[in-house]
Amino acid sequence: MNNNTIFDDVFRTMVEKMTYLLVPLINEVFHTSYPEDVKIVHLRNEHQLEEGELITDARLLIGDKVYHIECQSTDDATMAIRMFEYDLAIALESRRRVGRRFFVEFPRSCVIYLRTTKNTPDVEEVELKLPDGQVCVYRVPTVKVERYTKDSIFEKNLLMLLPFYVMRYEESAHTIGENTEKLQELLSEYEDIRVNLEKELSMAGRSELYTDLNRLIVRISDYIFRKEEKIRKGVDEVMGGKVLQLESERLLELGEARGKIIGKAEGKAEGKAEGEAIGEARMRMLINRLIADGRMDEIGKIIDSAEACRKLYKEYGL
């Protein structure tokens, strides 16, 4: 995996397969108080413009609020205008109209910076001057991973930052590799991370997530320390060895293999799981259609009412 995709791949793996890890981050950035099991709906990330297609990293719906999160591996002086362009496209897609007046609501957005410089702002801003002289400031908060210690990550349950924690040692990698004391300090830190992660997730009954996050931590570490074999092997050993696939994916493959052996009974269970997956995709399509038609107020109804959901499925031919 090359440096152009590894960070995006790890971030999107967490967004798609460990979505609930985003809840504490959203609460941290936007000062909300969503419970860990709040219902999150993935929305379409592709936005068609006349000059081409925009693809966002993560667009999520919680209740009637849309959240947009971008993961940026390096500082980018154009990030403010890029976010404005993304969010304008999202806002226009979900516009609604009453009579001749249109209502356009921007999503709640933030940028996660995996690397920062002294010029990386706490808030990205674009100043808008309207024809009548009004001035509005579009603001997007930033999350700087290096500002979070391992202790604050666990205190705030920001576990999705753990795979990127190692990036703070990127520039000093060679020095650490040549200094036994510094290397031991790094490995001790990762031993603390492993122990705390195991404790945190075993108490929550999420042993699969422990293995999954372990794998992603090792994946980023292997890349950051790709030229420092001593460090790379040390972190791999501390974290329990390199995990080659997500535990959840391994269990899925195991279930498929068992289905072939056990036969009909297991096949019914798999059919049920497949049906649930299809149902979720169908619901996602319906929500995207409602947003596109400016019917945001009906989204809450379909989540709470099966009858309302059936009527809208019929209306949209889904």
Please state the three-class secondary structure of 224-265 as a single string: HCCCCHHHHHHHHHHCCCCCCCCHHHHHHHHHHHHHHHHCHH
For 42, the 3-state DSSP assignment is strand
Rg (CA), the chain: 22
Write phi, then psi, for 30 (nearest 5 degrees).
-105, 5
**101-103/96-98 β-pairing:** antiparallel
CB 57 within 8 A of CB 51: no
Would you state the pLDDT for residue 287?
Answer: 75
For residue 218 the two structure tokens come to 């090792």
Q: How far is CA 3 from CA 8, 10, 112, 222, in A?
A: 9, 12, 17, 12
Would you state the pLDDT for residue 200?
Answer: 84
Q: Which residues of the chain have pLDDT under 50?
A: 1-2, 242-245, 247, 264-266, 274
For residue 10 the two structure tokens come to 């790890």
Q: DSSP string spanning 147-216?
A: G--HHHHHHTT-GGGGGGGGGGGSTTHHHHHH-HHHHHHHHHHHHHHHHHHHHHHHHTT-HHHHHHHHHH
For 116, the 3-state DSSP assignment is coil
Would you state the pLDDT for residue 299?
Answer: 73
Please state the three-class secondary structure of 127-139 as a single string: EEECCCCCEEEEE
